[in-house]
């Protein structure tokens, strides 16, 4: 799914893999000066790369093989994990099985990446390369843990927020050799999105002076009062950036003193989609959606939604955003289908039932249901996307590999 900018900034504050971010190699230093629209420092050791690996897919597409959705199930007892099962959900049949079992006791388990008939999985400091066809595997020892959440055909990518530099650090894993490279990122990068392109969309915080650490609450809050958000394209192969647009971090002030702020939703058919919200500081007063081309120009408003409410959720299909969901809550949700340009009112959707979780390549949607009014295990079901948008409620339960198997 795509996240709003605010949500992604929260996500960026996590430290992935429970380890400290490695120090950049020579030439990849983290800067403590603020240069508006600055390009990252380039050095062959950190920025140069072989030919690009093609389109980079986001976190909710990288485990979709085109016929199955992959998840990982660590199996163990009170003494810890003893095995790791690689599970696959055939979304044509709705049945989940186990492709293979790895005899290992890892402390850290990554998410599967699926590319060109292979599943890539990191357990601790070992990269497993597993054939989709028969579950045969080989392994590559890694220099340090890395748990990619984005991927193209050649590399996996992981990112983490470094509080010392107030910036995201991006690492790249070569899926064949296991080589890990720390890439040079622009200073004060606080958002990263994969949009099904060979480049990433990023958001930087532009300030008049270097930001204090986010841990210095009051000082940090004061420093960002006049900050701008700068959206740019970032090429992980070269480290080059291309500015798209810039606006105040807290939104553009309107004539009545309210502020209009954008949140990024995703990209489709060469256009970038944003929701916007106008707030008077106490409550939202207006909502909408708009798009621009890949250069940050040609802004176009999307039609008004059937029910007023912020766009809060988006679903990708093959790396591109397809559906945008919004509304006011139970019984008043809507979905905007970018492939048709049509709104669909979704009276059957609540926060706990008929919630669209994933949109697969065969146009089936994975739905989440509350098992027992918040007291039981979640139930998952599959439904044809068109039937779902038409208000249908006839769904097929997913048959899990076992009662505790994750989806």
Torsion region of 31: left, alpha or beta (phi above 0 gives left; psi -120 to 50 gives alpha): beta
More confident residue, 80 or 391: 391
Cα gap 281→264, rounded to integer Å: 21
Supply the pLDDT for residue 33. Answer: 29
Cα gap 8→29, rounded to integer Å: 24
Long-range Cβ contact pairs of 294-302 (< 8 A, separation 24 or more): 294/233, 294/244, 294/267, 294/270, 295/244, 296/231, 296/243, 296/244, 296/245, 296/272, 302/273, 302/336
DSSP 125-170: TEEEEEETTT--EEEEE-SS----SEE-SSEEEEEEEETTTTEEEE
What pLDDT digit, counting tens, does each position of 159-189 carry?
Answer: 999 887 889 999 999 999 999 999 999 999 9
Once rounded to an integer, what is the mean pLDDT over residues 110-121? 96
Asked whether 178 and 142 are in contact (CB, 8 A), the reply is: yes
Asked whether 234 and 199 are in contact (CB, 8 A), the reply is: yes
Tokens of 312: 């809060």
Tokens of 38: 């600055």
Please provide residue 359's backbone torsions phi and psi, each rounded to the nearest 5 degrees: -120, 110
Cα gap 309→328, rounded to integer Å: 5
| pLDDT over 60 (residue 345) | yes
Supply the pLDDT for residue 194. Answer: 96
Residue 206 binned pLDDT confidence (cut-offs 50, 70, 90) = very high
The domain segmentation of the chain, as residue ranges, is 63-148, 353-402
Question: Measured between alpha carbons, how far is residue 72 from residues 84, 136, 146 in Å?
Answer: 7, 16, 16
Tokens of 270: 């060469």
Once rounded to an integer, what is the mean pLDDT over residues 7-16? 33
Asked whether 246 and 231 are in contact (CB, 8 A), the reply is: yes
Once rounded to an integer, what is the mean pLDDT over residues 302-319? 89
Q: What is the dihedral of CA 46, 52, 58, 60, to 10 degrees?
A: -120
pTM of the model: 0.85
Residue 70 binned pLDDT confidence (cut-offs 50, 70, 90) = very high
| pLDDT over 60 (residue 6) | no
Supply the pLDDT for residue 351. Answer: 83
Supply the pLDDT for residue 25. Answer: 35
What pLDDT digit, counting tens, does each position of 71-109 carry?
Answer: 999 998 777 778 999 999 999 999 999 999 999 999 999
Tokens of 345: 């009112």
Residue 286 binned pLDDT confidence (cut-offs 50, 70, 90) = very high
- Residue labelled with tokens 């990269």: 127
Supply the pLDDT for residue 372. Answer: 58
Residue 276's DSSP bridge partners are: 262, 288
Cα gap 64→213, rounded to integer Å: 38
More confident residue, 400 or 214: 400
Supply the pLDDT for residue 403. Answer: 87
Supply the pLDDT for residue 268. Answer: 96
Residue 328 binned pLDDT confidence (cut-offs 50, 70, 90) = confident
Supply the pLDDT for residue 52. Answer: 66
Pick from 230, 214, 242, 235: which is nearest to 12 by CA?
Answer: 214
| pLDDT over 60 (residue 42) | no
Q: How confident is the prediction for the chain on average, in pLDDT?
A: 85
């Amino acid at each position: 799914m795509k996240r709003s900018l605010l949500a992604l900034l929260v996500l960026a504050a996590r430290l992935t893999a429970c380890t400290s971010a490695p120090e950049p190699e020579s030439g990849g230093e983290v800067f403590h000066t603020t240069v508006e629209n600055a390009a990252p420092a380039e050095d062959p050791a950190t920025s140069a790369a072989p030919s690009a690996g093609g389109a980079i897919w986001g976190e909710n597409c990288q485990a979709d093989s085109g016929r199955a959705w992959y998840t990982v199930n660590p199996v163990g007892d009170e003494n810890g994990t003893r095995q790791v099962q690689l599970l696959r959900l055939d979304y044509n049949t709705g049945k989940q099985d186990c492709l293979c079992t790895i005899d290992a006791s890892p402390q850290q388990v990554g998410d599967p990446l699926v590319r060109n008939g292979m599943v890539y999985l990191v357990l601790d400091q070992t990269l497993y390369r597993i054939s989709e066809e028969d579950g045969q595997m080989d392994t590559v020892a890694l220099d340090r843990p890395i748990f990619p959440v984005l991927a193209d055909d050649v590399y996996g990518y992981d990112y983490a927020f470094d509080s010392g530099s107030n910036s995201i650090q991006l690492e790249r894993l070569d899926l064949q050799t296991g080589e890990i490279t720390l890439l040079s990122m622009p200073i004060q990068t606080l958002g990263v999105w994969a949009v099904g392109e060979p480049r990433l969309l990023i958001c930087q915080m532009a300030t008049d002076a270097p930001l204090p650490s986010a841990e210095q609450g009051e000082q940090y809050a004061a420093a960002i009062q006049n900050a701008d958000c700068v959206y740019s394209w970032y090429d992980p192969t070269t480290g080059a950036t291309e500015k798209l647009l810039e606006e105040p971090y807290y939104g553009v002030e309107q004539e009545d003193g309210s502020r209009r702020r954008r949140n990024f939703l995703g990209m489709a058919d060469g256009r970038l989609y944003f929701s916007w919200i106008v707030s008077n500081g106490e409550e939202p007063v207006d909502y909408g959606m708009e798009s621009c081309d890949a250069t940050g120009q040609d802004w176009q408003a999307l039609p008004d939604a059937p029910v007023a409410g912020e766009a809060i959720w988006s679903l990708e299909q093959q790396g591109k955003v397809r559906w945008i969901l919004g509304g006011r809550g139970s019984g008043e949700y809507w979905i905007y289908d970018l492939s048709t340009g049509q709104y669909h009112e979704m009276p059957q959707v609540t926060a706990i039932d008929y919630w669209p979780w994933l949109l697969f390549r065969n146009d089936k949607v994975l739905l989440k249901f509350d098992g027992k009014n918040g007291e039981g295990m979640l139930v998952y079901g599959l439904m044809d996307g068109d039937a779902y948008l038409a208000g249908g409620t006839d769904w097929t339960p997913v048959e899990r590999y076992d009662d505790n198997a994750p989806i």
